[in-house]
Amino acid sequence: MKYHPESLAKFWRHISDKMARFGLIGNPIAHSKSPLLFAAAYPDKDTYELIEAENLEKSLQIFMQEDFKGINVTSPYKDLVMEHVAFPDRISSLLGSANVLIKGEAGKDGMPLLYSYNTDYYGVKNTVAEFLSKRSERGGASAGSVEKVLVVGAGGAGKAAALAMKDMGYDVSLANRSAGKVAEFASAIGVEYVPLDMAGKLAKEADIIVYSLSFLIDQLKGVDLSGKAVFEANYAKPSLAPECGVVSGVYIDGRWWLYHQAIPAFELFTGRRPNLLAMRRIIGIK
């Protein structure tokens, strides 16, 4: 059986009156905002901690053997954890990547079976939907006026963005330096793979550009983005933000991605709605 987010939230309600333990695995993770976010989301209940270990196997061992109910997964383990998952949902299955693992019933060996989810998908989908709604209220572009989306970079974030934008009904191009498995993935979900050299040309034609790389590619330097919505994953060191001298129609800070992926992740963990205002304050968005 594959749990969908809604049914898994119900699954966890039987522990809603008890203290539950959650955490994060990845390397490095000392800089993560997740513990602060979780504390803001649920200030009076449950715990969230960093599981710092030298590799994935040790991290999973701690998770499985101790009384954690669920964990977030960050780089470089998002793809690797899929080998340990018994029940992936549709999104993590298509992406071959997960950022949420939750323990289920015990398997034949007595160890809990793992359910996987990828809420990076919702980090993109729900952010874009919110910003388009705000723009529409101000007389700007609405969801109905968006047709073409360019996603630059096909790492975990880029693939999640491509799937999210495709599911929203847009014409999506996924630009990456090499084809290989990226082209196969693009074909499987119904988007177009394009080489990175075409990014500049396609950026001029796109309504929304989702940028998932940690550096600015030459193909976008000097490209006029004044009529575009630019959504950038990297909030720590952005490349296309106004402070970088880039003028776009609207710039969406990567902190929104962090916020909107955390909401469904925490709901999956607990079955409860988090304190959204407190979460926004911690991240620094309004």
Residues 276, 176 within the same domain: no
Cis peptide bond upstream of 76, omega within 30: yes
At 140, the amino acid letter reads: G
- CATH of residue 232: 3.40.50.720
Contact yes or no for 128/145 (Cβ under 8 A): no
Q: Which domain holds residue 197?
A: 121-252
Residues 159, 262 within the same domain: no
C-alpha 167/C-alpha 254 separation (Å) is: 20
**DSSP secondary structure of 210-226:** EE--SS--GGGTT--EE
Tell me the per-residue pLDDT of 216-266, one tens digit each, with 9 for 90 and over. Answer: 999 999 999 998 999 999 999 999 999 999 999 999 999 999 999 999 999
Count helices and strands in the chain by DSSP H and E runs: 10, 12
User: What's the confidence (pLDDT) of residue 87?
Assistant: 95
Residues 81, 156 within the same domain: no
Residues 102, 172 within the same domain: no
Residues 134, 237 within the same domain: yes
pLDDT tops 80 at residue 150: yes
Domains in the chain, number:
2
Helix (H) or strand (E) holding 202: helix 199-205
Residues 127, 114 within the same domain: no
Residues 6+ apart with CB under 8 A from 207: 141, 145, 146, 147, 148, 149, 170, 228, 229
Residues 96, 194 within the same domain: no
Buried-exposed string 140-156: b where 16+ CB fall within 10 A, e elsewhere: ebeeeebeebbbbbbbb
Contact yes or no for 87/2 (Cβ under 8 A): yes
Token pair in block for residue 125: 């989908």
Residues 40, 136 within the same domain: no
Residues 233, 277 within the same domain: no
Among 35-39, 142-146, 230-234, the minimum mean pLDDT is found in: 142-146
